A and B are shown apart, each in its own frame.
Chain A
Amino acid sequence: MSANDRVSVATAWLDGCSGCHMSFLDMDERLIALADKIDIVYSPLVDAKELPEQVDVGIIEGSVSSEEDLHKAQLLRKHCRLLISLGDCAVNGNVPAMRNQFKLDAVFDRAYRENVSFQPQRPTQGVPALLERVRPVHGVVAVDVFVPGCPPSADAIWYVLSELIEGRIPDPSQVTKFGA
């Protein structure tokens, strides 16, 4: 627990559609109740640029597809006491991992050459390098709680966070499933 007795939460958005973060916001008025109990210290939803040294709960949306994703997953693992994989991309790779059936070169050619009429070229500057294979978060760092779903419903996220705030480890299979 942080000094003011509120649970500090960090979230990260890797290779996903942001739908899981949208589902988080979809908790609607429950967010107000949640704001009394948690501090979101680092997230695409807030302005903080630096991950604090010690965070209670880390939540990762999206699969690990690029070097930046890998870096973020490792960073959250290092600084968070408990790490949650939120949504199918983080839990099982989901749609981003469908490219694993092809060689990375073939994926690049499809996206940046075959379907491009003006100056077809592979982007190299200012973008993170793609990994050869997309992996779920637990393929690169240890994960404590898995919340499948595409996206997990607001009710499922509410259940998971409520249980954690009460000091219990949730069982998300009761409220969500792959693809749900």
Chain B
Amino acid sequence: MPLPAPQPQVRVVTLKIDGQDVSAREDETIIEVARENRVPIPSLCYLEGLSVWGACRLCVVEIAGTDRLLAACSTRVTEGMQVITNSERLQRYRRTIVELLFAERNHVCSVCVSNGHCELQTLAQRCGVDHVKVPYRHARYEVDSSHDLFRLDHNRCVLCTRCVRVCDEIEGAHTWDVMGRGTDCRVITDLARPWGDSGSCTSCGKCVQVCPTGALVRHGTSVGEMTKDLKFLPYLSRRRHGQ
């Protein structure tokens, strides 16, 4: 009978989130602890079960003792930490981030298959973005409908890279990646070949399920019909860590 593996020593720390005393394991991040304690922090690229990316900056929080805003998804909790999640300044930054996302590409919610089931659309409403102050770019982006089952619409992509990470880390196919810089940055399949020609794609659809917007969708869906299911992700992640 094998000896039980020694439990790694993980300390418990106490901290304050919005004035509320909470305790947490020291290997947890602020966003994990906040959500365990029902303190809502908006996020887009963060997804439980996937590696941390820290790109969207929507989850920025204020920490006492530093002027820098830190991403709650990529910052570990420490003893005595004092976190503010929803100040006037944070609300202003978050509104600006959401506005820039809407201005950069063509998210025309009214004619999107994900209308009513979109994380970006919901975020805009929760953050109080009722209009976009910066000018819209109205640049042209491609749509790739070459796959038998799914469609990629770059107009609605926010470059959260959830698709890239779920394909690599959960499915193990690494069909997705990112190319280009700035406004030319886009997600690609294989070496920027049409998705339908991909030799590595297993057509599992995980990328479609984790996409927060209408960028990755099932074929044959009409306006508002594309609903997504993220339930399988934490489950797979727990199973993997439990091995």
Contacts and interface: CB of A to CB of B under 8 A. Distances in A.
B109 A178 contact: yes
Interface stretch (B135-143, B186-194, B196-204, B228-236): B135-143
Contacts, number: 70
Interface stretch (A33-41, A47-55, A68-76, A135-143): A135-143
12 contacts: A88-B110, A94-B108, A100-B138, A101-B139, A171-B128, A172-B130, A173-B125, A173-B128, A178-B109, A178-B125, A179-B109, A179-B112
Contact of B121 (A85, A101, A138, A178): A178
Contacts of A173: 125-126, 128-130
A148 B110 CA distance: 10
Interface string A107-137: 0000000000000000000000000010010
A146 interface: yes
A177 B122 contact: yes
A95 interface: yes
B135 A139 contact: yes
A101 B110 contact: no
Interface residues of A, number: 28
Nearest to B122: A177
B106 interface: yes
A120 B48 CA distance: 57
B130 A101 contact: no
B224 to A, nearest CB: 9
Given A92-B102, A139-B135, A98 B130 contact: no
A97 B131 contact: no
Interface in B151-199: none
B110 A85 contact: no
Given A94-B110, A101-B106, A178-B107, 8 more contacts: A85-B131, A88-B110, A91-B130, A92-B102, A173-B125, A173-B129, A177-B122, A179-B118
Interface in A136-180: 136, 138-139, 143, 146-148, 150, 171-173, 176-180
A138 B131 contact: yes
B205 interface: no
Point out which of B111, B126, B139 has the most chain A C-beta atoms below 10 A from its C-beta.
B111
Nearest to A172: B130
B115 to A, nearest CB: 5
A139 B135 CA distance: 8
Interface size class of B (residues with CB under 8 A): 20 to 34
Contacts of B109: 88, 150, 177-180
Nearest to B111: A95
Which of B102, B110, B116, B128 has most chain A Cβ within 10 Å? B110
Contacts of A58: none
Interface string A61-86: 00000000000000000000000010
Nearest to A100: B138
Most buried by A among B122, B138, B139: B138
B39 interface: no
B132 interface: yes
A179 B110 contact: yes
B63 interface: no
A155 to B, nearest CB: 15
A92 B138 contact: no
B90 interface: no
Contacts of A98: 106, 108
Nearest to A139: B135
